[in-house]
Amino acid sequence: MVYHTSRFSVARYYVLAAIIVAVAAVFYELNGSTLTSVISVALLVVILVLTELKVRLNKVLLGSRGMTIETGMFSKSTTRLHYQSIVDIRVSQSFFQRMFGYGNIEIGVPGATIQQNVRQQFAGRGDVKISGLGSHHKGIVVHDMQNVREMERFILSRKG
């Protein structure tokens, strides 16, 4: 099973694209400026392509024995975990995230003292402290993933 970043989490980019189209239409009606329209369309295409790449290139793959988290557009990062090594799973969803079926999942893994934050954004990474897991656990946080509750149920069913 493959899970991607939710399109609802990048809705602001789609709104920005709609605003650009509206502004280009107004400028074209007022001035008849083809150059403004061409620049606006080019900017629109760039925004839409980068947004779609963000959604498609950041993913969680759930296999029969483990999971793989792949992030990044220009610099790629891959994290592999076996289900048996997972000690804790937490799902957090805001009201808006629950309405649209996406959220954040925190996965606790023993044997490391560093916490890792896998952030589904172009910029990418940073440290996060996950409370309640203890000092000997590595926490992986995956933000804004689609069908996060389904993902949690699948991992728990394989963890055994």
pLDDT digits (tens, 9 = 90+) for 61-114: 999 999 999 988 888 889 898 999 888 899 999 999 999 889 999 888 875 444
- Mean pLDDT over 23-32 rounds to 80
**pLDDT tens column, 110-130:** 754 444 444 444 344 444 444
User: Does the reported pTM lie above 0.85?
Assistant: no
What confidence score (pLDDT) does residue 13 get? 87
- Topology of domain 59-159 in CATH is PH-domain like (2.30.29)
CB-CB contact of 156 with 18 (8 Å): no
What confidence score (pLDDT) does residue 138 get? 63
Q: For residues 47 and 80, what is the distance between their CA atoms, to the nearest angstrom?
A: 31
